Structure 1
C-alpha cells in the first residue's frame, strides 16, 4: 500500500514539475510577445503623431501614401503579434486544463488511499492494540523494530495528509491562473478586432489615394522620379566627401597609395575599435522618433514596379528636434546640397556617420564632439509638416546598414 501510495505521489510531483517548466517557458515567451505588442502600439501612436498630425496640402498625396503604407505595415505586424499571443494563451489554457484534470484524478486516488490508511489506523487506534502488538514480539529487537515502524507509520500518514493539502492548494492556483488567462485572451480578441477595423479603414484610405494618383499619373510619376534624383544627388555628395576626407587624411599621414580606406593612427584605431564594439548599441541620432524608411531597396508605395534605393535610414521626429552624435568623433565635413538642406559628417576612426536634413548647425568642420552632443536642428518640411532626419553610416567607403548598429532601430 505504501509503495503504491509513494508511486502516485512521485507521479504527481513529476507532472507538476513538467507543468511548471513548460509554464515558465511559455510565460517568458508571453512576456516577450507582450513587450513587442506594446512597442508596435507605441509605434502606431508615434506614426499618428509624427506623420499624420499636420493636415496635408492639396495634391500632396505621395507623402500620405508613404505614411499610410508605413502605418498599415506596422498595424499588420501588431495583428500578427496579437494572434501569436492569443495562440500561445490557447496552448497555455489547454495545458492547464490537462494538468488540472490530471491533478484532480491523482488527488482523488490519493484521497481514497489515504482514507484506507485512516480506516486502518482507526481500527488499530486503541492503546491496548498497540501494546499487544509490541508484547507479541518474539524478542526485544523485534519489539524495538515494531515500535520504530509505528512511529514511521504515524509520521508517514501525517506527511501524506500534508501533501494532499499542498496539492489541493496548487490545484486552486492553477484554476485561478486559468481564469486570468481566459480574461487576457478575451481582451486580446477585442483589441485584435479593433485593430482589424482600423486596418480596413487605412487600406480603404490608401485605395482612395491610389485612385486619386492614377487620375494624375504623369504628374506623380514625375514627382517620384524627381524624388529619386534628389536622393541620388545627396548620396553622391556624401560619398564624394568621404573620399575627399580619406585622401586628405592619408596625405597628412604621408600615405597616398590608398584612396578607399583611412590610414589610421594608433588613437584612431582605438576609436574605431570602440565604435565597432558598440555595434547594435549605438544611441539614436535623435532623442525620440520612429524609423519611417529603412535601409536598402524597397518598392514604391504607389508603383510597386518602381524600386528605390535607400543608403541610410529616415527617422521621423518632433518639430524642433535636434540631431545628436551617435558616438564621439571629429566633424570632417559639412554638407550643403544645392536646393536642399544641410548635413554633418563625423569620423569615428574609420567609421563615418552622416546626419542630413538639418536647418541650423551647431558645429563646424574640425570640431571634436561627444556622444549625444547636439549637431543641429532637424528641418521641418513646410509642405507636409514632416520633420525627418536622414542618417547614414559608412566604414571607409563601404555602406553600412544603420539598423544593425543603432539600438532597436
Structure 2
C-alpha cells in the first residue's frame, strides 16, 4: 500500500504548487504586456518627434526612456524564462514520481497475474471459503471486489495524471522556445535603439544652436530641488508651530508616526507600477554635460495610472511646479513623501490618507514629465533616495 500513498502525496502537492507558479506567471506576463504597451506608445511618439524639423531636448529624453523601458522588458523576459524552466523542471520531477508509482503498480499486477496463472483464484476462493459464517463470507467477497476495483481506478487515475503532465511538459517546452525567440527579439530591438542613441551628437549639435532656451530650462531644473526643500521646510516650521499650540498629544502622534515610518524603510509599497527612468541624485545634462540635482525619481507609467500613498499620513500641500507639474506633499511625522506630475488628483489638503489609498492619476503627454510619476522622499526637509525606502521588486 506504500505506492498508492506516494501517489496521493504527489497528487496532493500538485494543486498548491501549480497555484503558486500560476500566480508568479500571471504577474510576470501582466508586467510584460504593460511594458510592451508602454514601448509601443513611446515608439509612436518618438517617431513623431524625430520627424519634426527642429530637434528638441524631448527627442533625447524619449530615446533615454525607450532604452530604459526596453532594458526592463528584456529583464522581465529573462524572469519569465526562468519561471518557465522552473515550471518545466517541477513537472518533470512530478512526472518521474508518477512514472515510478505506475511502474510499481504494474509490477504488482504482473505478480498477481503470475499468481493467478499458477493458482487460478484459489487464494481468493480459499479466503472466502475460510469464512466462519455466510455474513463474513459476503463481507470478504465485497472487500475483494472493492479492492480490485480500487486498484483499477488508481491505475487509471495515475495514467490520466501522467498523460496530463506530459502534455503540460510539452506545452511548457513550447513556451520556453517562444520566450527564447521573444528574448532575442527584445535584445535586437535594444541594440537597434542603442545605435539610434549614437545620433545624439547630431541632435545635440542642433540643440546647442538653441542655447538660450536650453540654458533657461537647465536653470529651472537646478532650482527644483531647492524649491521643494524650501517648501517642505516652511511646512515643517508651520506644523511645529501648530503642535506647540495644540499640546503634547499632537507631538506624541508626530513622534509615533516618524518612528513607524522609519521602521518600514526598505518595505514601503511603490506609489505606481513601472521602471525608474530618472534616478535620484545628480543628473547629467545630455547636451552640456553639466549636472543638476534630482530630488526624487521618475517612474514610467501608462497614462492615467493609479498613484497610491506609500504610508499613512496627512496631505499638507497641493501645488504646481514647472518641472513636475501638479504635486502633493504628504506628511509622515519627520518624513514627507512628494508625488508629482499628476494628471488628476483625488484628495485635498488636510485630508488623512492611508497606505495604499488612491491619491490620483499619473501624467499623460500633457504633463511636464509625460507619462510618468515624480516621487520623492524628504527627511526634515532634505531629499533622500526613495529607492532605499521602497520594497525591492
How does the TM-score come out when normalised to structure 2?
Answer: 0.68
Summarize deviations over 1:79-114 as a string: whole Å, max 9, x none.
232233223323433453454455345424422421
C-alpha RMSD over aligned residues: 5.5
Aligned to 2:77: 82
Contact 2:128 2:141 in 1 (8 A): no
Summarize deviations over 1:172-201 as a string: whole Å, max 9, x none.
211221232233234323433332332233
Aligned to 1:203: 194
- Whichever of the two has the greater Rg, that structure is 1
Summarize deviations over 1:355-378 as a string: whole Å, max 9, x none.
6679999999xx645766789x99
Q: Give matches, 1:3-402, under 5 Å.
A: 6-13=1-8, 25-45=20-40, 47-48=42-43, 52=46, 55=49, 57-97=52-92, 99-100=94-95, 103-104=98-99, 106-118=101-113, 120-121=115-116, 123-125=119-121, 130=125, 134=129, 152-207=143-198, 209-213=199-203, 227-251=217-241, 266-267=249-250, 270=253, 280=268, 293-297=277-281, 300=284, 302=286, 308-314=292-298, 329=314, 346=329, 348=331, 350=333, 351-352=335-336, 354=338, 368=350, 380=366, 386=370, 390-401=374-385
Cα offset for 1:237? 2.4
Summarize deviations over 1:102-155 as a string: whole Å, max 9, x none.
53454244224214424545744479x9379837x9xx69x9999977765554
- Provide structure 1 residue ranges, at least 5 long, that are not aligned to the other structure: 1-5, 256-262
Output the CA distance in 2 between the equivalents of 1:385 and 1:86: 33
Output the CA distance in 2 between the equivalents of 1:15 and 1:102: 7
Summarize deviations over 1:12-32 as a string: whole Å, max 9, x none.
555556666665554444334
RCO comparison, higher one (Cα < 8 Å, 6+)? 1
- Aligned pair in 2 of structure 1 residues 307, 25: CA closer, same or farther (>3 Å)? farther
- Aligned pair in 2 of structure 1 residues 324, 272: CA closer, same or farther (>3 Å)? farther
How does the TM-score come out when normalised to structure 1?
Answer: 0.65
- Aligned pair in 2 of structure 1 residues 298, 149: CA closer, same or farther (>3 Å)? farther
Contact 2:21 2:87 in 1 (8 A): yes
- Aligned pair in 2 of structure 1 residues 342, 213: CA closer, same or farther (>3 Å)? closer
Aligned to 1:258: none
- Provide structure 2 residue ranges, at least 5 long, that are not aligned to the other structure: none
Aligned to 1:3: none
Cα offset for 1:167? 0.8
Output the CA distance in 2 between the equivalents of 1:362 and 1:134: 84
Contact 2:57 2:207 in 1 (8 A): no
Find the residue that maps to 1:77 and give its secondary structure. helix
Output the CA distance in 2 between the equivalents of 1:21 and 1:336: 50
Give the number of equivalent residue pairs. Answer: 379
Find the residue that maps to 2:49 and give its secondary structure. coil
